[in-house]
Chains A and B, each alone.
Chain A
Amino acid sequence: MKLLTKTNIYSSVATIILFIIGIFVVFNFIFMKFDSEQDEQLLSAKKIIIESLKKGKTPEQFSSNIGEIIAIRKIKSQTSTLNYFKEYEIQKGQDYAKIRELNFQCLINENAYGISVSISLSQDKKIGEYIFAIVTIYLFISLFILFLLNRYISSHIFSPFYDTLSKIKKWNIKKNDPLTFKKTNIDEFNLINITVQELTQQIKTDYKNLKEFTENVSHESQTPLSIISSKLELLMQGTNYNAKQQEYLQQIFQSTQRIYKLNQVLILMSRIENKQFLASDSINLQYTIQQKIDELEDFISAKQIIISPEFKTQTIKNINPILFDILLNNLMINAIKYNLEQDGIIIIRLDEHTLTIENTSDIGKIEKEFLFERFTKSSTSSSLGVGLSLIKKIIEAFNWQITYSHKNNIHIFKIYL
């Protein structure tokens, strides 16, 4: 949920609640005021009636004023001196009219009277309806203004924030310079921007240092490796070794070879990262794959692997031929190396947009998240990890995509060209 949507919901709910409370309070206040005014009116009518009676006016002589209905009847004796107010409804055509009535008794010139004065409240009811309508309309106008305001806030005030977000999202440590942002007049956003700016600067520097370090190590170790390698070769020419010594020599030699291979891959990867393979050429993928199959014939037939290429098109891509050869080599060698010991199958599918290599294997599914990491290896292999991360680097350099899936003991590598 967007920050503004969330705050909108809160403020809308708060507005509605406040309005409902407001309406309730206003209504009560207004009607309280009405009631007291009406009661005053009734009481002043009482005063006039008593004075008129005192002056000798007979009950029959009283006529109803506008809005006031007066009823006077003689009673035997006065039993109360209190004023009784009551409210009731009467039917008036189709409408109901609300009536407020004052009953009182009085003793004038030795005659006791029971008198009731009533007024109609129908006018007040209408006024109440008006007030309710006005307040409701006002509520909707307020909500609408609130909505417009939030849109304005989101497009203007929050725009530097969203700008920062999209820049962070698009940022790539390998491609981009440290982030820079436009200055805003909102302190919090400026603080975020400055912090992110410093952070990316730091990450970039660290990354560069680390990369240089790896490059230097692999570069500088080449000469010592060459020397170790050639000295060993000369040492191995000796003839007076016992079995144990020969075994040591062999182990040293093999380990040296491993370091050397690893070093080569590291150098290759940093060269790819540094975009040192820029020259590209039109490559006929089908032809190149077929050639690779032929090159690997020895290894394929040794394991009696059935290889079935399914080429739909003569896909031609403009890519670096050296890198594509390395890519293909690694993919194919993996497919052969980790295949079944006997009667394995490799299926290569190629169409205009995808290249899929499927191979049977008794190695279980490789965990996806670690698949293309540099030094992950499955329990049975010694070089799978570095080979796969090299594959990934080349795929990235070509702007292609690779996915891996595993189904019924078949490993599927699919490349989107």
Chain B
Amino acid sequence: MKILIIEDEKSLLEDIKHYLTENGYNCDYSTTVKSALNKLAENKYTVALIDLDLPDGSGLEIISYIKNTFPEMGIIITTAANSLEDKLNGLKLGADDYLTKPFHLSELNARIYSLIRRRNFSGKNALVFDGLEIDTTEKKVISNGVALQFTKKEYDILVFLASNPTHLITKEALAENIWGDKAEMATTFDFVYSQIKNLKRKLNEVGLKDYIKVVYGLGYKFKN
């Protein structure tokens, strides 16, 4: 799957590219509106990640172009915190999702995964691991043919972790993914901790040990 990253801040661009490449995506990039339009004319991409604030114009132009030319392509916009109108305009023009800078790379990856899954680009709607299958259409978790029972929050956490396999997911990124702007509550990390504990217990019960690894003080890792 090919992703076009349009971002003028080179340092940030590199990080995104690095993280997404590690997660199995084929990444291409542009730093201007002009070069992005050129790239889009020459290649076929599954998802475009568009920074709205570009040196030679607005990312909104690119959204219009994509919607007219490749209506099936997924679009995620990234904006600075103070350009809410741009974000709304982007969504109006047909962008699928948005992220406000600064964002967690794990969150970006999960959003891309979720977008691809929703649009059913690859035809499969499941995250499949050794002995564990997460059916994201039916919201079911199956282990060796047996359906596992999780609460909604447990399921959300599992999907978030599983869509960033082998990567460290910080407690903060996880809390934000689950509770959004309420994540700043003092008790949030206790919640994350207790949910993860239940998750691990339930996975252990069906013999799926060490899927979720706790990295002390930092966060969690989902490991096959």
Which A residues form the contact surface with B (CB < 8 A)? 218-219, 222-223, 225-231, 233-234, 236-237, 243, 246-247, 249-250, 253-254, 257, 260-261, 263-264, 267-268, 270-271, 276, 295-296, 298-299, 302-303, 322, 329, 333, 336-337, 383
A278 vs chain B, min Cβ distance (A): 10
Contact A233 B106 (CB under 8 A): yes
Beyond A233-B104, A234-B15, list 4 extra A-B contacts (CB 8 Å).
A226-B12, A227-B15, A237-B167, A276-B85
Any chain A CB within 8 A of the CB of B19? Answer: yes
Roughly how many angstroms separate A322 CA and B173 CA in the complex, as a whole number? 23
Tell me which residues across on chain A come within 8 A of B173, comparing CB atoms.
233
What residues of chain B lie closer than 8 Å to A263, measured between beta carbons?
81
The residue from B105, B179, B191 contacting A230, defined by CB atoms under 8 A apart: B105
A223's partner among B9, B19, B184 (CB-CB below 8 A) is: B9
Cβ proximity bits B165-194 to A, threshold 8 Å, 1 near / 0 not: 001101011000001011011110011000
Judge whether A226 and B217 touch: CB under 8 Å. Answer: no
Q: Report the nearest B residue to A226, measured CB to CB.
A: B102
Let me know if B148 is at the binding interface, CB within 8 A: no
> B80 interface residue, CB < 8 Å from A?
yes
CB under 8 Å from chain A, chain B span 204-220: 215-219
In the bound complex, do residue B12 and residue A227 qualify as a contact, i.e. CB atoms below 8 Å apart? yes
Let me know if B82 and A219 touch, CB within 8 A: yes
A329 to B182, CA, bound (A): 8
B196 in the interface (beta carbon within 8 A): no
What is the CA–CA distance of A374 and B187 in the complex, to the nearest angstrom?
24
| Alpha-carbon separation in the docked complex, A231 to B153 (Å) | 28
CB within 8 Å of A: which of B6-26?
9, 11-12, 15-16, 18-19
Is the Cβ of B218 less than 8 Å from the Cβ of A298?
no
Q: Mark B14-49, 1 if CB is under 8 A from A, else 0.
A: 011011000000000000000000000000000000
Q: Which residues of A contact B18 (CB under 8 A)?
A: 234
Q: Cβ of A247 and Cβ of B217 under 8 Å apart? A: yes
Tell which of B84, B85, B172, B191 touches A253, judged by Cβ atoms closer than 8 Å: B172
Q: How far is the CA of A64 from the CA of B63 in the complex (A)?
A: 132
A337 to B80, CA, bound (A): 29
A residues in contact with B168, CB < 8 Å? 233, 236-237
Check A227/B11 contact, CB under 8 A, given A267-B81, A383-B184.
yes
Residue of A nearest to B88 (CB): A279
How far, in Å, is B54 (CB) from chain A's closest CB? 13
Contact B187 A303 (CB under 8 A): yes
Q: How far is the CB of A360 from chain B (nearest CB, A)?
A: 17
Given known contacts A298-B179, A333-B185, A219 and B104 CB-to-CB distance under 8 angstroms: no
Q: Which secondary structure dominates where chain A touches chain B?
A: helix
Query: Is B185 a contact partner of A222 (Cβ separation < 8 A)?
Result: no
Chain B: minimal CB distance from A181 (Å): 37
Q: Which residues of B contact A228 (CB under 8 A)?
A: 102
Closest chain A CB from B23 CB (angstroms): 11
Give Cα distance in the complex from A246 to B18, angstroms: 22
20 interchain pairs (CB within 8 A)? A226-B9, A230-B12, A231-B11, A233-B19, A233-B106, A233-B170, A236-B170, A246-B217, A249-B218, A250-B218, A253-B172, A268-B81, A271-B84, A276-B84, A299-B182, A299-B191, A302-B187, A302-B190, A329-B182, A337-B186
**Considering only CB atoms, which chain B residue lies closest to A247 in the complex?**
B217
Q: Which of B19, B172, B191 contacts A257 (CB 8 A)?
A: B172
> How many angstroms between the C-alpha atoms of A159 and B11 in the bound complex?
65
| Contact digits for B45-85, partner A, Cβ 8 Å, 1 yes 0 no | 00000000000000000000000000000000000111011
Given the contacts A230-B105, A234-B105, A222 and B80 also touching, CB distance less than 8 Å: yes
In the bound assembly, the distance between CA atoms of A243 and B215 in angstroms comes to 10
Chain B residues with Cβ below 8 Å from A234 are 15, 18-19, 105
Q: Which of B15, B82, B84, B190 has the most CB of A within 10 A?
A: B82
Question: What's the Cα separation between A136 and B40 when bound, in Å?
Answer: 104
Given contacts A222-B81, A229-B104, A264-B81, contact A236 B218 (CB under 8 A): yes
Instruction: Decide if A223 touches B101 in the complex (CB within 8 Å).
Output: yes
- The 10 A-B residue pairs whose C-beta atoms are closest, nearest first, are A226-B102, A230-B15, A229-B102, A250-B217, A226-B101, A267-B82, A227-B11, A267-B81, A233-B105, A222-B80
Give, as a whole number of angstroms, the nearest-CB distance from B200 to chain A.
Answer: 19
Bound-complex Cα distance A261 to B16 (A): 21
Chain B: minimal CB distance from A259 (Å)? 10
A336 touches B170 (CB 8 A): no
Among B114-146, those with CB < 8 Å from A are none
A141 to chain B, nearest CB (A): 72
A-side contacts of B84, CB under 8 Å: 271, 276, 322
Q: Which residue of B lies closest to A254 (CB)?
A: B172
Most buried by B among A249, A270, A303: A249
Residues of B within 8 A of A336 (CB): 185
| Interchain nearest-CB distance for A224 vs B (Å) | 9
| Shortest CB distance B155–A (Å) | 15
Contact, CB under 8 Å: A329 / B181: yes
* Interchain CA distance A227-B8 in the complex, whole Å: 12
Cβ A253 vs Cβ B170 within 8 A: yes
Q: Select from chain A the residue with minimum beta-carbon distance to B104.
A: A233
Q: How far is it, in angstroms, between the C-alpha of A253 and the C-alpha of B171 when the chains are bound?
A: 11
Contacts of B181 in A (CB 8 A): 329
Q: How far is the CB of A288 from chain B (nearest CB, A)?
A: 15
Bound CA–CA A337/B183 (angstroms)? 12
B218 touching A225, Cβ below 8 Å: no
Verify B105–A337 contact, CB threshold 8 A.
no
